[in-house]
Amino acid sequence: MKLFRPTGVVLAMLSLMYLITYIDRVNVSTASVGALGFGTEFNLSKTEIGLVFSAFAYPYLIFQVIGGWVSDRFGTRRTLIACSLIWAGATVLTGMAGGLISLLIARVLLGLGEGATFPAATSAMSRWVAAKDRGFAQGITHSAARLGNALAPALIVTVMTAYGWRASFFVCAAISFAWLLGWIFIFRENPADHPGMTAEERAALPPPKPRGQPVPWGPLIKRMAPVTIVYFCYGWTLWLFLSWIPQYFQHEGQDLKSMALFSSGVFLAGVVGDTLGGIVTDRIYARTGNLNRARSLMVSVCMGLTCLSLLPLMFSHDLVISAISLSAGFFFAEMTIGPMWAVPMDIAPDHSGTASGLMNTGSAFAAIVSPVVGGFLIDQTGNWQLPFLGSIVLMLVGMGLAFTMRPAQRLTAEN
């Protein structure tokens, strides 16, 4: 895939969207920290801050399947235009919040706007990415999301210290509106309609799929159920990291700048993991022709390595060991992303937006539960390691269930 050809430009625009949406959804984690944060200004407990984190996930959960179906039926271009208007507007409202209730409302609106984004992007990739590159495309877009995680602490702290936490949200909103303008001018629903598309590129892409095909809901839900459960196990760890890593390092005695540095280091490990995971799953598939090995086996191995990486947290309070353990855990957890997001396209290529939406409800539900449970455990016990024990247990569960996903078995009316 050439970067400056239409397929490369579209993938770059989707990657940029992943980066921006993750900055917009995790910026509250950093903006809540310290004397300059909204947690202090509004006098919020850890449990209340956890509610602010998780409020995003309620509409995000609901609009996974709805958004995937809408993008499959009406197109990715219009879906993402509407989504970006909502999420950028919600980011502005977050900066205007006056207390816990207005923060919760703004976060709910953000979840509404971002709920359809990843399923819609997967629907676009099913048309704009060759089958042999699916793992790479999903890995590189999600690595951009983790780059957003890594950039967010430094970006938010820089703006917070100069202009206050509210200004950080206004900056994020401006970036989102700029992306929207680029998307309107660049993206075409059908790759063949893009003026720069060559015959060589067109031949490498999947044949055009008609929009508006009826969704076989029963068989699709049945096939995606184990995938969704596995993704919940991963999502618990993801949202624990996104919500509490900055405050974890603050608890370890770091000031705002050191906290941002350590947090960014953990999230940068995820950037590498996402990219490498996408490359590895495609190479395994190219060499073996076996989707079960390239997807299920790889996910299981990486989840097992995540558990091993997080174990030192249970036995050591040394800052360096904690940082290395968290970085390694996040690296291996993120290596599952390329194969996991390729699975919906493997199982249901004609309904990939809807299928990926079903899968991502697992992570969205984890986003509701994980931050609140983490905050509650910290409030009640004062133990910052305890929430990560839940990650280890759930990753072990996902490690076993990964073999039930059966990506090599394409969806039919019977299965």
Query: What is the pLDDT confidence band of residue 3, given thresholds at 50, 70 and 90?
Result: low
Tell me the C-alpha distance between 17 and 173, whole Å.
Answer: 13
Give the model confidence (pLDDT) of 40-52 as tens digits. Answer: 888 888 788 878 8
CATH architecture type of domain 6-196+216-404: Up-down Bundle (1.20)
Query: What is the pLDDT confidence band of residue 367, given thresholds at 50, 70 and 90?
Result: confident
Tell me the C-alpha distance between 284 and 302, whole Å.
Answer: 14
pLDDT value at residue 279? 93
pLDDT value at residue 309? 96
Give the model confidence (pLDDT) of 57-84 as tens digits. Answer: 888 888 888 888 888 888 899 999 999 9
Once rounded to an integer, what is the mean pLDDT over residues 305-330?
91
What are the E-state strand segments in 146-289? none
Angle (nearest 5°) at CA 274 between 46 and 320: 55
pLDDT value at residue 373? 85
Tell me the C-alpha distance between 321 and 327, whole Å.
Answer: 10
Tell me the C-alpha distance between 235 and 228, whole Å.
Answer: 10
Once rounded to an integer, what is the mean pLDDT over residues 184-210?
78
pLDDT value at residue 261? 82
pLDDT value at residue 155? 87
Sign (positive/negative) of CA torsion 90, 364, 211, 203?
Answer: positive
pLDDT value at residue 317? 79
Quote the percentage of the chain above a pLDDT of 70: 96
User: 387 with 245: CB under 8 angstroms?
Assistant: no
Q: Is the pLDDT of residue 252 over 90?
A: no
Query: What is the pLDDT confidence band of residue 209, given thresholds at 50, 70 and 90?
Result: low
Instruction: Tell me the average pLDDT of the chain.
Output: 87
Tell me the C-alpha distance between 359 and 234, whole Å.
Answer: 11
User: 405 with 296: CB under 8 angstroms?
Assistant: yes
Q: Is the pLDDT of residue 211 over 70?
A: no
Tell me the C-alpha distance between 126 and 131, whole Å.
Answer: 8
Q: Is the pLDDT of residue 2 over 80?
A: no
More confident of the two residues 289 and 350: 289
More confident of the two residues 43 and 232: 232
Q: Which two structure tokens, joined as six digits, stand for 13? A: 């625009």
Tell me the C-alpha distance between 22 and 147, whole Å.
Answer: 9
pLDDT value at residue 191? 83
Give the model confidence (pLDDT) of 113-155 as tens digits. Answer: 998 898 889 888 888 888 788 888 888 998 898 888 788 888 8
Which pTM does this prediction carry?
0.80
More confident of the two residues 31 and 394: 394
User: 46 with 336: CB under 8 angstroms?
Assistant: no
Q: Is the pLDDT of residue 99 over 60?
A: yes
- How long is the chain? 415
More confident of the two residues 377 and 92: 92
Q: Is the pLDDT of residue 199 over 90?
A: no
CB-based burial, 10-27: b 16+ in 10 Å, e otherwise: bbbbbbbbbbbbbbbbbb
One-letter-per-residue 3-state SS of 339-359: HHHHHHHHHCHHHHHHHHHHH
Give the model confidence (pLDDT) of 150-196 as tens digits. Answer: 888 888 888 988 898 899 999 999 999 999 999 999 898 888 777 77
- Report DSSP letters for 75-91, one per residue: -HHHHHHHHHHHHHHHH
Smallest CA-to-CA distance from 390 within 375, 403, 401 is with: 375
Q: Is the pLDDT of residue 406 over 70?
A: yes
Tell me the C-alpha distance between 18 and 118, whole Å.
Answer: 8
Query: What is the pLDDT confidence band of residue 386, given thresholds at 50, 70 and 90?
Result: confident
- Of 199-203, 237-241, 327-331, 367-371, minimum mean pLDDT range: 199-203
pLDDT value at residue 212? 59
Q: Is the pLDDT of residue 409 over 60?
A: yes
- Taking residue 200's Cβ as centre, other Cβ atoms within 10 Å add up to 9
Tell me the C-alpha distance between 3 and 266, whole Å.
Answer: 28
pLDDT value at residue 251? 75
CB-based burial, 125-161: b 16+ in 10 Å, e otherwise: bbbbbeeebbbbbbbbbbbbbbbbbbbbbebbbebbe
